[in-house]
Amino acid sequence: MAEETVDALARAQAVDGSAGAAHRHDALLSARAANIKQSAVRDVFEISMQPGLVSLAGGNPNLASLPLERLGETARRIIAERGLEALQYGGGQGTLELRTQICEVMAAEGILDADPDNVVITAGSQSAQDVAAKVFCNPGDVILLEDPTYVGALNTFEAYEVDVQPVAGDEHGIIPSELRTRIAALQAEGRRIKLLYTIPNFNNPSGVMLAPERRQEIVDICREANILVLEDNPYGLLKFDGVLPAPLRAANPEDVLYLGSFSKIFAPGLRIGWALVPAHLLQRFYLASEAVTLCPPTFNQLLVSDYLGSYDWQGQISTYRSLYRDRCAALLSALDEFMPAGVSWTRPEGGFFVWLTLPEGIDTYPLLHRGIDAGVVFVPGAAFTAAKGPSNKLRLAYSAVPPETLREGVKRLAPVLAEAIAAL
């Protein structure tokens, strides 16, 4: 199961981090340490790893279609022939070669003017979120975000004592007028809003894509309010069909800090992500990143560079698009077939996730355990929101599960949800 899912389940249970009895070292903990959530659901994971259980919880990419033999040979050659470089410290910003290639990846994503000098390679894009919070946020500062949003970002921001504030959205993403209203209300309270964190393409967990016609207006609203946009786009290239909408960053180089990742289009186990930073913020961001990890892993960068330089990485993305399109279709079809009345869900055009809404009054957290009893695992919705209290939502991931297993998982889930609805 993806580690992100562990976080999500921990967060869904909302247990605070103070484990066990008091200790004299408790006095040594920082104020922010209290915001770092403890996982009290490790037992659930152990259970969820049991054979026979269908996991619709983990947002892992499907790696089976990667050319593993050839990638192994590439890895061999890098270490045998360039080992003194591959195994040595490197520059804190990442290699120029990979930063240059990342600009080509961003061109495919719709950003045509990226300069390798403004790219900072990070230990996964999670690390770039951490650096952004560190560089921009004092305790109590506000980050606006979608509700629901990525559990890892919530955890990272809250570890800096950031006040994460949701902005209302619909099936086309953040609603510009709602953003305007929210900013005005928070500013009227004297709050300092630093960032808008958004996953415009196939949001994790909702699968929602921000409508192209809303994008520039959202950036304009933020610019007027002097709020930097933190755009997280790991799924952008994984649109099933048609033209990709331009990222918010595309026409707004000064107002958007853009985060990218190889975790969904290549290999999360290499932990290589990046930030494209507005030029005037580059030094701050880069040096803060260096203070956390010194430098990104050199071998990993060389392997990604070879993959981008010598393999048909765009063809692989086409493969992924149709693979995930088929899986998403299988999941949606199973939902249509099996879900009881009262349950609704999103119909994503890309990415890894479908988001289910149950009738008001149902808490999906206790249903997790009933689902496991029925042989299926999902992530309860409370994981993906800063709001306290129960959630009537849940996330299903189709990325790592073959179509027939998706169908079986939904078939097992349906009576659990039906029973909860009947008990209302």
Site residues for its own copies, 118-137, by CB under 8 A, read 123-124, 126-127, 130, 134-137
Q: List Cα–Cα distances, 44 to 48, 94, 366, in angstroms.
A: 6, 38, 12
Query: Per CB under 8 A, does 349 bind its own copies?
Result: no
Binders of its own copies: how many residues, by CB under 8 A?
A: 95
Distance CA 383, CA 365 (A): 9
Amino acid in position 119: V
The burial class, CB within 10 Å (0-12 / 13-18 / 19+), for 342 is middle
DSSP class of 239: B
- Kindly state whether residue 39 participates in binding its own copies, applying the rule CB under 8 A: yes
Find the shortest distance in angstroms from Cβ 338 to its own copies: 29
51 is an interface residue for its own copies by CB under 8 A: no
Q: How far apart are CA 280 and CA 155, in angstroms?
A: 27
Among 12, 86, 145, 413, binds its own copies (CB under 8 A): 86
CB of residue 6 to its own copies, shortest distance in Å: 7
Contact residue for its own copies among 274, 299, 320, 384 (CB under 8 A): 299
What x-and-dash track marks residues 172-211 binding its own copies by CB under 8 A?
Answer: ----------------------xx----------------
Which CB sits closer to its own copies, 19 or 243? 19
167 CB-near residues (< 8 Å, 6+ apart)? 144, 145, 146, 147, 174, 175, 178, 179, 182, 196
Does position 327 interact with its own copies (CB under 8 A)? The reply is: no
Residue 421 CB, nearest approach to its own copies (Å): 33
Q: Residue 117 contacts by C-beta under 8 Å, 6 or more apart in sequence?
A: 99, 279, 282
In the beta sheet, which residues pair with residue 391? none
Contact by Cβ (8 Å): 411, 417: no
Rounded least distance, CB 295 to its own copies, Å:
5
Binding residue for its own copies, selected from 75, 108, 244, 418, defined by CB under 8 A: 75
| Smallest gap from residue 392 Cβ to its own copies (A) | 27
